[in-house]
């Protein structure tokens, strides 16, 4: 990452104006939403409220004052639109997977959620937000224009980025394919890092490819979360007798989710290392996989099956409620599933049990 005085001085001088432009953009989307609450408008309001919140948070570490009320207002705004946005996503997925009857039920729910979201937009106190922002903005201009504070401000911004990056590494390392909460937490951490870097885009040494990689990781984990919610929605409606879904459809959704999880688990170390090269975070070495030829980097023992392959099989066993012996037998009988999941060769159930224990110990120690 480029952290020289020239770059940071130019950023700090332009930062107050950039934050002001973000507020204007958000206001425009809110005005549009008050007229007609389309799906794209809901998305834009939530995205720009996050961007503004991150910019305000960066400004807060510069002026030593957190704009708490503004941040709470923006958070409440996102929450008020969140359920509607989630319903839009679920309806699109229901159509994509051809789940008969579900799109109609979600559309009926959409009307109620849209009415609630519209009320939230009408009641949102934009004047209050603008008044609070005006005071904050004045302080920010003074601090950003003070050359005596340049080194201090530069260090504070650098520290924030490094903390965001470190948080991503820790949450990724704790990701458990059997616990979707950990995967959701990983998505939140990468999203926070992405918004931080986007706020600083143009003033640090990040290229478009790195930002695209951040979005790719976030989108992948976001799809995992969306499919998890979809499966829960289907399960609830089926149990209530309000929906009938073929077993094959349920399995297809589960396998698609599993493939996304597997892609994440196999690639996050390399992807994080790419991001880390720009951020210059020393913890990069802690998270980057160095076990070439599928070697175990902790024990130095070369393994025939990669951790990614073992985790795929363990996840499938968890999904289907199978024992180690049972899941190996199941995959032997269903080679098409092996092909779809990218599993080349199968371990014995004894090897699977041994590696499962090792992976479990690794997770407990934060590795």
Same domain, yes or no, for 124 and 165?
Answer: no
Rounded Cα distance between 176 and 226, Å, is: 17
Domain stops at, among 145, 171, 199: 145
Same domain, yes or no, for 174 and 282?
Answer: yes
Same domain, yes or no, for 4 and 55?
Answer: yes
pLDDT at 14: 86
pLDDT at 295: 38
Total domains present in the chain: 3
Rounded Cα distance between 237 and 231, Å, is: 10
pLDDT at 362: 41
Same domain, yes or no, for 204 and 235?
Answer: yes
| Residue entry with tokens 């209530």 | 240
Same domain, yes or no, for 133 and 155?
Answer: no
Same domain, yes or no, for 200 and 135?
Answer: no
Domain stops at, among 122, 145, 168: 145
Contact 315, 262 (CB under 8 A): yes
Same domain, yes or no, for 129 and 59?
Answer: yes
pLDDT at 177: 86
pLDDT at 182: 94
Same domain, yes or no, for 309 and 266?
Answer: no
pLDDT at 203: 60
At a CB cut-off of 8 Å and minimum separation 6, what does 71 contact? 53, 56, 57
The residue range of the domain holding 122 is: 1-145
Same domain, yes or no, for 159 and 274?
Answer: yes
Rounded Cα distance between 196 and 216, Å, is: 16
Residue 305's SS3 state is coil
Rounded Cα distance between 67 and 58, Å, is: 11
Same domain, yes or no, for 174 and 273?
Answer: yes
Same domain, yes or no, for 278 and 321?
Answer: no
Specify the long-range contacts of residues 71-80, CB closer than 8 Å, at least 24 apart: 73/124, 73/125, 73/128, 73/129, 74/49, 74/50, 74/129, 76/120, 77/45, 77/49, 77/120, 77/124, 78/45, 78/46, 78/49, 78/50, 80/116, 80/117, 80/120, 80/121
Domain stops at, among 94, 117, 145: 145
Tokens at residue 246, please? 């073929």
- Residue-by-residue pLDDT tens, the chain, 367 positions: 444 455 567 778 888 999 999 999 999 999 999 998 899 999 999 999 999 999 999 999 999 999 999 999 999 999 999 999 999 999 999 999 999 999 999 999 998 999 999 999 999 999 999 999 999 999 999 998 888 888 888 888 888 988 999 999 999 999 998 889 999 999 999 999 999 988 887 666 566 778 888 999 999 999 999 999 999 999 999 999 999 999 999 999 999 999 999 999 988 988 888 888 777 643 333 334 333 333 333 333 445 677 778 878 887 887 777 887 888 888 888 887 887 777 878 888 777 777 777 666 343 333 3
Contact 4, 158 (CB under 8 A): no
0.85 cut: is pTM over it?
Answer: no
pLDDT at 365: 35
Q: Where would I find the H helices in the chain?
A: 5-35, 39-63, 68-96, 102-123, 126-144, 150-173, 180-199, 208-239, 247-279, 284-287, 307-320, 324-333, 335-341, 349-364
Which bin fits 50, alpha (ψ -120 to 50), beta or left (φ > 0)? alpha
In eight-state DSSP terms, residue 146 is: -
Same domain, yes or no, for 153 and 281?
Answer: yes
């Amino acid at each position: 990452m480029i952290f020289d005085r020239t770059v940071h001085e130019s950023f700090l001088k332009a930062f107050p104006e950039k934050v002001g432009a973000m507020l204007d953009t958000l206001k425009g989307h809110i005005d549009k939403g008050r007229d007609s609450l389309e799906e794209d408008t809901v998305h834009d309001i939530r995205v720009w409220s996050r961007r503004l919140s991150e910019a305000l948070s960066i400004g807060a570490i510069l002026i030593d004052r957190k704009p708490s009320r503004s941040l709470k207002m923006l958070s409440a705004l996102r929450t008020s639109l969140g359920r509607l946005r989630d319903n839009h996503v679920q309806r699109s997925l229901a159509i994509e997977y051809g789940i008969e009857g579900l799109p109609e039920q979600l559309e009926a729910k959409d009307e109620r959620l849209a009415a609630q979201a519209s009320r939230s937009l009408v009641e949102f106190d934009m004047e209050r937000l603008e008044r609070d922002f005006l005071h904050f903005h004045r302080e920010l201009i003074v601090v950003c224009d003070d050359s005596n504070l340049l080194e201090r401000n530069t260090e504070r911004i650098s520290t924030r980025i490094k903390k965001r990056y470190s948080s991503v590494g820790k949450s990724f390392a704790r990701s458990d394919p059997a616990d979707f909460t950990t995967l959701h937490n990983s998505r939140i951490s990468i999203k926070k890092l992405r918004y931080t870097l986007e706020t600083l885009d143009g003033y640090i040494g990040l290229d478009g490819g790195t930002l695209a990689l951040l979005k790719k990781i976030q989108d992948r984990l976001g799809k995992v979360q969306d499919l998890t919610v979809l499966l829960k929605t289907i399960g609830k409606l089926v149990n209530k007798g309000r929906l009938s879904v073929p077993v094959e459809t349920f399995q297809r959704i589960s396998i698609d989710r599993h493939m996304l999880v597997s892609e994440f688990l196999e690639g996050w170390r390399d992807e994080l290392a790419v991001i880390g090269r720009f951020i210059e975070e020393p913890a990069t070495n802690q998270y980057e996989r160095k076990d070439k030829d599928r070697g175990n980097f902790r024990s130095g023992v070369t393994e025939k099956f990669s951790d990614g392959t073992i985790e795929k099989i363990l996840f499938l066993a968890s999904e289907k409620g199978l024992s180690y012996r049972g899941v190996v037998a199941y995959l032997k009988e269903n080679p098409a599933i092996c092909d779809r999941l990218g599993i080349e060769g199968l371990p014995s159930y004894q090897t699977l049990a041994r590696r499962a224990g090792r992976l479990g110990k690794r997770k407990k120690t934060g590795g």
